[in-house]
Chain A
Amino acid sequence: MNNGKTRASLLGVAALYLLYICYELYQSRDDPNTTMTPAVRIIFIALFVIAGIGLLIYAVREWRRSRTDDDQPAAQDDKNSLK
């Protein structure tokens, strides 16, 4: 199924967006208008970095799993026996 791969890439995009949010949070550290304290900012950045990287790893794994799923049908050909 091609669906496994596209789902994996969708999750990958989500992961990258989470990391992008971290980037945005980091960029705003000098902004005087923000009410977010540095401590809180670090906590959230850390949270989203972990979530983002975790999701990225999961997405890559899903990608590889759907790739081996594509190879599986070849193995099934052994089923055609003489009987």
Chain B
Amino acid sequence: MAKILLEMKNITKTFPGVKALDNVNLQVEEGEIHALVGENGAGKSTLMNVLSGIYPYGTYEGDIIYDGQVCKFSNIKDSEKLGIVIIHQELALVPEMTIGENMYLGNECGHRFAIDWNKTYSEADKYLKMVGLTESSKVQVKTIGTGKQQLVEIAKALAKKARLLILDEPTSSLNEEDSRALLDLMLSFKKQGMTMIIITHKLNEVSYVADKITVIRDGTTIETIDNHGKEPVSEERIIKGMVGREMTNRFPKREGVKIGDIEMEVSHWTVHHPLYPERKVVDDVSIYVRKGEVVGIYGLMGAGRTELAMSIFGQSYGTNFSGELKLNGKHVKLKKSEADAIKHKIAYVTEDRKGNGLVLSQSIKVNTSLANLNAISSKTVIDGDKEYAVAEEYRNKLRIKTPSVEQLVGNLSGGNQQKVLLAKWMFAEPDVLLLDEPTRGIDVGAKYEIYCIINDLAAAGKCVVLISSELPEVLGMSDRIYIMNEARIVGEMKAEEATQENIMQVILRSGRGA
């Protein structure tokens, strides 16, 4: 029986009004990779914050037993001294400083008043090599990509002589290639005896690296699954634990699919880059969407899908537009104005809800009414009661988890924020909805709820364009799929004919000088 390095026993943590952790138990063996999974708000990050000392001893009940000793951390430094190092989701690097300066921030080599930079940089280089980075530690952080910055964070943790490494959503801002590299790095660390806890939403990663999986839901430990078997644990098995019900269908069934006439048609649509006018970001695209239909647009990063959607939406992105737009059979020349597009019943739901979708400093109520203020006001005077009622209506309809619609959107979880964003556009009563990555960064349960909303929209006769980089999502939700690559539409398939393989084949075959 392998030695248990860490045991968290009966941990309970209460915040005013809410019990975040309720008698949570966790056991991590030395040298294993232990995955913590659960929906947003289940308590995973809170548990790790208790472990690392961010919530100091005295603010929680229960015991942390590390290396056989009961621990009473009063801050992060205490836990780091024992080799427990946590790497948070948001990178904590200062872009202007060099890698070396970042790695030893607060931890400098040398005396208090005379930092030994030579030693700092040579030590830093040592750790950089360990994580597979070839850059010199004298390089400024902002010059390297996000994937490499994440590795710098790990190197920083190694420099603190980590024995138990906690990674909170380490691949959330990485692409496929960098994610795989990071996971392989974790496996190589494991061979050297490092113990790791990984918190992640990506279940395929869990199957790949984890030895044991602990599922947390609503602040309690549900179960711990062993992944040592011959076959890695299936994603369905993990989802079942997380969500508490059989999710045989990750995607809800479409009831009463009734596809009507063509609502929106775009022909020979070409758009040029706003800063480099010779470059085409959308090249001779022709697509159409019918009433009650869900049309998926799939493509790799940079394929031009967002540019396509935004350029249709009142030319809000790009320059040098050409092509025709037909709404309901009639030719329409939209002015360069988002308000005009909204008037023509088109809605664009951005992929970056925090950056340009929602006003985080305002309430749910204000955000919900934003695209259609005229409906709740008479002659520019806002009817506060009507606005409140509308916000309440959408809160119930979309099941937004919040005590009140006066709550600031910035305080909501990702899934609920996305719901508010959808509510805003639904309130604008469009006929065509362009959804750009609507379930990005959202946990499994909330994703399902959003899929249901999409299906309801289609059932109500709206046209839904679903732009997504998740192949299973596109396959599971669409009636018809367009495939876009390098600014062109390179394929169109009906849902019944589409599979992961033949979609990828279309992309590979269409690549220019790949």
Touch test A–B (CB under 8 Å): yes
- Give A residues with C-beta under 8 Å from B: 64, 68, 71, 73, 75-83
Q: Interface SS of chain B: helix, strand, loop or mixed?
A: loop
CB A70 to nearest CB in B, in angstroms, measures: 11
Q: How far is the CA of A75 from the CA of B143 in the complex (A)?
A: 11
Nearest B residue to A69, CB-CB: B95
Within the complex, which residue of A68, A73, A76, A77 is in contact with B96, where a contact is CB–CB below 8 Å? A68
The 3 A-B residue pairs with the shortest CB-CB distance in the complex, in nearest-first order: A80-B301, A81-B176, A78-B175
Whether B146 contacts A75 by the Cβ 8 Å rule is: yes
User: Using a Cβ cutoff of 8 Å, how many contacts connect chains A and B?
Assistant: 50
Q: Which of B154-181 contact A (CB under 8 A)?
A: 172-176, 178-179
Whether A80 contacts B204 by the Cβ 8 Å rule is: no
**Given A64-B96, A68-B95, A79:B173 Cβ within 8 A:** yes
Q: How far is the CA of A54 from the CA of B302 in the complex (A)?
A: 43
The interface centre, meaning the residue of A64, A68, A79 with most chain B CB atoms within 10 A of its CB, is: A79
Whether A82 contacts B352 by the Cβ 8 Å rule is: no
Write 27 A-B pairs (CB below 8 A) sorted by A numbering: A68-B95, A68-B142, A73-B352, A73-B355, A75-B145, A75-B146, A76-B173, A77-B301, A78-B145, A78-B174, A78-B175, A78-B301, A79-B172, A79-B173, A79-B440, A80-B175, A80-B300, A80-B301, A80-B302, A80-B469, A81-B176, A81-B469, A82-B300, A83-B202, A83-B204, A83-B469, A83-B471
Q: How far is the CA of A79 from the CA of B469 in the complex (A)?
A: 10
CB B250 to nearest CB in A, in angstroms, measures: 13
Interface size class of B (residues with CB under 8 A): 20 to 34
Nearest A residue to B437, CB-CB: A80
Residues of A within 8 A of B202 (CB): 83
Q: Which of B92-117 contact A (CB under 8 A)?
A: 95-96
Given A75-B145, A81-B174, A83-B471, 13 further pairs, Cβ under 8 A:
A71-B142, A75-B173, A77-B302, A78-B174, A78-B301, A79-B172, A79-B173, A80-B175, A80-B302, A80-B437, A81-B179, A83-B204, A83-B469
Q: How far is the CA of A80 from the CA of B176 in the complex (A)?
A: 8
CB A75 to nearest CB in B, in angstroms, measures: 5
Whether B96 contacts A82 by the Cβ 8 Å rule is: no
Residues of B within 8 A of A73 (CB): 352, 355
Q: How far is the CA of A71 from the CA of B174 in the complex (A)?
A: 17
Residues of A within 8 A of B437 (CB): 80
A-contact bits for B471-505, CB 8 A (1 contact / 0 none): 11000000000000000000000000000000000
CB B498 to nearest CB in A, in angstroms, measures: 16
Residues of B within 8 A of A79 (CB): 172-175, 440
> B393 contacts the other chain (Cβ, under 8 Å)?
no
CB A25 to nearest CB in B, in angstroms, measures: 35
A-contact bits for B287-316, CB 8 A (1 contact / 0 none): 000000000000011100000000000000
Residues of A within 8 A of B146 (CB): 75-76, 78
Whether B469 contacts A82 by the Cβ 8 Å rule is: yes
Q: How far is the CA of A78 from the CA of B147 in the complex (A)?
A: 8
Q: How far is the CA of A76 from the CA of B146 in the complex (A)?
A: 7
Residues of B within 8 A of A80 (CB): 175, 300-302, 437, 469
CB B246 to nearest CB in A, in angstroms, measures: 23
> B383 contacts the other chain (Cβ, under 8 Å)?
no
Within the complex, which residue of A71, A75, A77, A83 is in contact with B176, where a contact is CB–CB below 8 Å? A83
Residues of A within 8 A of B471 (CB): 82-83
CB B207 to nearest CB in A, in angstroms, measures: 13
Nearest B residue to A75, CB-CB: B146
Residues of A within 8 A of B300 (CB): 80, 82
